[in-house]
Structure 1
Amino acid sequence: MSGDTDSAHPPVREVVVPDKSGLPRLEPVGREQDAPSALVLVLHGGRAHSRESGERKRLTYRRMVPFARALSRRGPAVYLLRYRYRGWNAPAKDALRDAQWALAELAERFPGVPVALVGHSMGGRAALGAAGSSNVVAVCALAPWLDRSDPVVQLDGRTVLIAHGDRERWTDPGESYRYAVRAKERGVAVCRFDVPGAGHFMLTRVGDWHALTQRFVLGALGIEPVDPTIANALHQPTPTGLRAVLHGAHT
């Protein structure tokens, strides 16, 4: 993974407070709620290595704003995380540390409220890695940047959806498939969708990316009934449920 995309790495169980470079930011999307019944934390992409600031002007940030806005109109309280840095920066894994910090903040503000994580590319890796936080119930990873070092133990008890386009040029769909296989073998409730004709930046079939994300998140949070296509993929054995093909009305 390289360029203006994303990267992420294994989870750190404990919450690590970010360093003196300053705290990341939790930015509410849509109407703020005093007592939400469900939360969504949206994690955007980035770069493998960069100590530049995680500014809102970045395309990686702006790419996830429509996802966040659409979800906010369906009931849950939604927050976008602005990282301290643009990069993953292994071995520091800054985006993962920031995601863990954000989840601890949400747990303090809204005790007992379930959280669904939605992440793209580096944000997908951070979302999967941070899934071990006690308030997380579901993870939606879109075109996640993964490799064989990423653990799956933190996914126990969570529901996971991974989606990857077949015209991907930045991250490896094969790695997300192998990751899903490892999770499935462990007993995690995981499904994975191939998105024909789509690349990394989700510009092709954008309506289908949005629809899949919304159906999964709202079902996992109990806001809407679980989507039957997703439920079927979750219950299918490997490889069927991990190579489900996303057929949609939006092209």
Structure 2
Amino acid sequence: MTDPVLEVDEPTGSPTAIALVLHGGRANGTGGTNARQLAVVRMRPFVRSLRRAGADRGLVVARLRYQVRGWNGASASPVPDVRWALDRLAERFPGLPTALVGHSMGGRAAVYAGGHPTVTAVVGLAPWIEPGDPFTQLARRRLLFVHGDLDRMTSPRQSATFLRESARIAASSTYVSVRRERHAMLRRATLWHELATGFVLAVMCNRPPEETVGRESANVLGKALGGETSLVV
């Protein structure tokens, strides 16, 4: 088993907030991860987008590779790795708030680790959510889930249900349905990148979406940040 790998890009100015990017995986698997795996590669454009938009606003952009590829039932294998990474980031950048940005299994890991004291926002991209997954740890967090309506790998319906339940305790909670999009986030890739980036920069660095993303994404995010809980784009 390999150790988790945490890579960190610091901003050009003084750090003010952190975005930790989490890749997907498999339901089961104890083999190690590597930088060439598709689930890891898929998150590179999100890292670049966050880094480009946030460098001059003090956003630290970190990405984690888990020890193993699978969730592995009750072991929830990625979750201790995420908490380990959050602890390391808190030691390196004390007092800074963190946003978790996770795809698929990474979205589920973000939900489970979202109770860490440094976490203030969670972005789930086509997150893998199962009935009974906990949400009380997300109290007072800002939540954004984005899910393709044609996704057959993870359930859009379960994501929406989870957000409705968590809305009772979250600081804010918005579900965005992306029309004609599947799990890989490829057909409307720019939209996915911009929704994640614009949301993180808005809630973590107080930067309006129209300054960081295109018009369509900024319009969606304006509604989300204005309190709308369910959107279709």
2:142 counterpart of 1:185: no
Shift of 1:23: 2.8
Shift in alpha-carbon separation, 1:33–1:50, aligned structure 2, 3 A: farther
Shift of 1:221: 0.6
Letter of the aligned partner of 2:141 in structure 1?
Answer: R
Distance in 2 between residues matched to 1:121 and 1:85, nearest whole Å = 15
Structure 1 residues 39-65: Cα deviation after superposition (integer angstroms, max 9, x where no partner): 110000000100010111100000001
SS in 1 for 2:221: helix
Letter of the aligned partner of 1:63 in structure 2?
Answer: R
Structure number having the greater helix percentage: 2
* Pairing 1:21-40 to 2, within 5 Å after superposition: 21-29=1-9, 35-40=14-19
SS in 2 for 1:132: coil
Shift of 1:102: 0.6
Moved over 4 A (4+): 31-35
| % identical equivalent positions | 41
SS in 1 for 2:102: strand
SS in 1 for 2:121: strand
Shift of 1:184: 1.1
2:93 counterpart of 1:131: no
TM-score (norm 2): 0.89
SS in 2 for 1:221: helix
Contact 2:123/2:144 (8 A) holds in 1? yes
Shift of 1:201: 0.3
Shift in alpha-carbon separation, 1:33–1:104, aligned structure 2, 3 A: farther
Shift of 1:185: 2.7
2:155 counterpart of 1:176: no
Distance in 2 between residues matched to 1:130 and 1:144, nearest whole Å = 14
Between stretches 225-234 and 56-65, larger displacement belongs to 225-234
* Pairing 1:97-246 to 2, within 5 Å after superposition: 97-225=80-208, 229-233=220-224, 236=227, 241-246=228-233
Shift of 1:73: 1.5
Letter of the aligned partner of 1:244 in structure 2?
Answer: L
Letter of the aligned partner of 1:115 in structure 2?
Answer: T
Contact 2:220/2:231 (8 A) holds in 1? no
Shift in alpha-carbon separation, 1:32–1:244, aligned structure 2, 3 A: closer
SS in 2 for 1:162: strand
Q: CA RMSD in A?
A: 1.8
| Partner residue of 1:62 out of 17, 36, 41 | 41
Q: How many residues align?
A: 221
2:72 counterpart of 1:81: no
TM-score (norm 1): 0.83
Contact 2:142/2:170 (8 A) holds in 1? no
Structure 1 residues 196-232: Cα deviation after superposition (integer angstroms, max 9, x where no partner): 0110000011111111111101001124126564353
Shift of 1:234: 5.1
The answer for unaligned runs of 5 or more in structure 1 is 1-20, 247-251
Shift of 1:186: 3.1
The answer for unaligned runs of 5 or more in structure 2 is 210-217
Contact 1:44/1:123 (8 A) holds in 2? yes
Between stretches 178-187 and 106-115, larger displacement belongs to 178-187
Shift in alpha-carbon separation, 1:97–1:33, aligned structure 2, 3 A: farther
Contact 1:193/1:244 (8 A) holds in 2? yes
Letter of the aligned partner of 1:101 in structure 2?
Answer: W
Shift of 1:120: 0.2
